[in-house]
Structure 1
Amino acid sequence: MVDPVQWIEHRRGGDGELIGWMVPDGEGFVVVDLLGRERSAVVDWLTAEETLDEIGLGFLADPFELQLPDGRWLQVRIAELSPEGIRVTRDDWGATDVQDREFELPFPMPIELRPRADWPSIAE
């Protein structure tokens, strides 16, 4: 994939919030969301914009899971993200006595991070 410096930002109408990128690919563009995931095949400019508008930002509020080095999955939330990295926090429902609350991850989203599955997490 092209270096993120060459990605074309797409911002939400109204407030101008960044919602993803359009990555040049031949005569078209590939849609990339804020986690760095390719979300389309090669499409034209208008389709790329419409796809990003449809994806939006709502998915960032959903719970995710982070696979720990021992193979267990921990429920986390996206705290901060940019092409420089992704920071997630343990989804501990406000508990103040939990250790290892934040995790720094590379961009784009690594395979150790995924949208939360339907089974319970190991959060205590």
Structure 2
Amino acid sequence: MIPDDWTEHRRAEDRELLGWIRPEGDAWVAVNLLGREVPGVVDWLDAEASLDAIGLSWLADKWVLDREDGRAWAVRLVEVAPERIVVKTDDFGAIDASVEVIVLEWPAPRTLRHPEPGEHAVSPWG
């Protein structure tokens, strides 16, 4: 649930939600759609600029989900909302691959992350 003192920030061109801006003392913190803070406590205009600069392109990025068994699965974001985050295991372009859909709590857990340079996450079926 989004706290009452958070303010939505939408892209000017199409009003697409980019995140929120929340108070931090006398300053502000930008929060992306995953519920993660954009680094820095800044003034309002800088918080808006941070969210505008990040945009939504990161939603199409490759992601890794660290599993409790120590494996790192390659995943793609399917749905990002304050109610939940849904990912699916990456099919790596294979049309006959089975995928697993995983529902995560919001804000996104730290186990959902971008891959490290050179890291090769795997699918659960391969």
Kindly provide the CA deviation profile for residues 59-106 of structure 1, in whole angstroms up to 9, marking residues without a partner as x. 11100001122110010011101111110011112434425x210011
Superposition deviation, residue 111 in structure 1:
1.6
Any stretches of 5+ residues in structure 2 without a counterpart?
none
Q: 1:56 — aligned with what?
A: 55
1:107 lines up with 2:106 in the alignment: yes
Question: What do you get for the CA RMSD once the two structures are aligned?
Answer: 1.5
Mean CA deviation greater in 54-63 or 36-45: 36-45
Q: 2:81 — aligned with what?
A: 82
CA distance in 1, matches of 2:56, 2:37: 15
Task: Give the counterpart letter for 1:60 in structure 2.
Answer: L
Scaled by the length of structure 2, what TM-score is found?
Answer: 0.88
Superposition deviation, residue 41 in structure 1:
2.1
CA distance in 2, matches of 1:85, 1:19: 16
Percent identity of paired positions between Structure 1 and Structure 2: 43
Any stretches of 5+ residues in structure 1 without a counterpart?
none
Scaled by the length of structure 1, what TM-score is found?
Answer: 0.89
1:122 lines up with 2:122 in the alignment: yes
Aligned residues: 121
